Structure 1
Amino acid sequence: MATGVQDEADGSAGVDARIAALGDWRGEMLGRLRGLIREADPEVVETVKWRKPSNMLGVPVWEHAGILCTGETYTDYVKLTFAQGAALPDPAGLFNASLEAGTRRAIDIRQGQAPDAAAFRDLIRAAVALNLSKAAGRRRG
């Protein structure tokens, strides 16, 4: 069982590198969101996936019994994509992208914006609970 944030195959160090390489508001925002994710789920595991020539630093991924969300950066916004977002309650209406996707949902954050911290932590906790319930179902089945 994973405990705490781990440096597995570039894990936290890779996320650190990605944030540092941005060097602008996007890095600050990704770092802030990362902090909220860690507050919401102290057992979260950070990884970096999908490295390619056009994105050598890859995409930060937060996992707990499966992927919770990914953190991508674009010129004008930071995107947090929740792997099972369509199945999550979002009473604060944080999801504002990929709303037509069958499974995923995303939050696009532009410069000067910030999601409600408490609502974002609740969304992370809901994603963890969903992943854990699916994992428990697989073990019983």
Structure 2
Amino acid sequence: MAAGKSDPGTDSPSRLIDQRIAELGDWRGETLARVRGLIRQADPEIVEEWKWRGVPVWSHDGIVCTGETYKAVVKLTFAKGASLPDPKPLFNSSLEGNTRRAIDIREGEEIDADALKALIRAAVALNASKAKPRARKAPKSE
């Protein structure tokens, strides 16, 4: 294994996201840390995951969004973004598809914290509305 890389089998997704933020060490790490904090504020029950060989994913009854880092942008891709209200509007990327929408954040750009939190809450609500009900256990007969 390369130096500085973690074995996903031994670290929690949250720790791997912490490591990614630290490894970036520039505006992208700061931006990813900021949006991560806003996501967690918007939904304290959100689950952090680490998928596709190194992509931070936030889920609640399904994927809410991913946080990818590229040379020029930090990209938040909302799995069901095309179905979400975006009154501010924050979505500025992946606009042509029927399902996903993304927010590309460039160096020096600020994101509207309240608008992002509203988008997160809307994505969680949409996921919850489509979640399969959990099977109930039949009562034991005596």
Q: Residue 62 of structure 1 aligns with which residue?
A: 58
Cα deviation for residue 45 of structure 1 reads: 0.5
Q: Structure 1: any 5+ residue segments left out of the alignment?
A: 1-7, 52-57
Q: Structure 2: any 5+ residue segments left out of the alignment?
A: 1-9, 135-142
What is the TM-score normalised by the length of structure 1?
0.86
Report the Cα distance in structure 1 between the residues aligned to 2:11 and 2:81, rounded to whole angstroms: 26
Matched-pair identity in %: 68
Cα deviation for residue 123 of structure 1 reads: 0.2
Q: Are 1:18 and 2:39 an aligned pair?
A: no
Segments ≥4 residues shifted beyond 6 Å: none
Report the Cα distance in structure 1 between the residues aligned to 2:11 and 2:125, rounded to whole angstroms: 25
Letter in 2 for 1:50: W
Q: Are 1:107 and 2:89 an aligned pair?
A: no
Q: How does 1:1-141 map to 2 (within 5 A)?
A: 10-51=12-53, 58-135=54-131, 138-139=132-133
Report the Cα distance in structure 2 between the residues aligned to 1:17 and 1:88, rounded to whole angstroms: 31
Report the Cα distance in structure 1 between the residues aligned to 2:22 and 2:61, rounded to whole angstroms: 27
Report the Cα distance in structure 1 between the residues aligned to 2:81 and 2:47, rounded to whole angstroms: 18
- Higher alpha-carbon Rg: 2
Report the Cα distance in structure 2 between the residues aligned to 1:41 and 1:32, rounded to whole angstroms: 14
What is the TM-score normalised by the length of structure 2?
0.85
Report the Cα distance in structure 2 between the residues aligned to 1:75 and 1:11, rounded to whole angstroms: 23
Structure 1 counterpart SS, 2:76: strand
* RMSD, aligned α-carbons: 1.4
The 8 Å contact of residues 9 and 47 in structure 1, kept in 2 or not, is answered as no
Letter in 2 for 1:119: A
Structure 2 counterpart SS, 1:60: strand
More helix by share: 1
Structure 1 counterpart SS, 2:61: coil
Q: Which digits, 9 at most, give the CA deviation of each residue in 1:12-35, with x for residues without a partner?
A: 111111111100000000000000
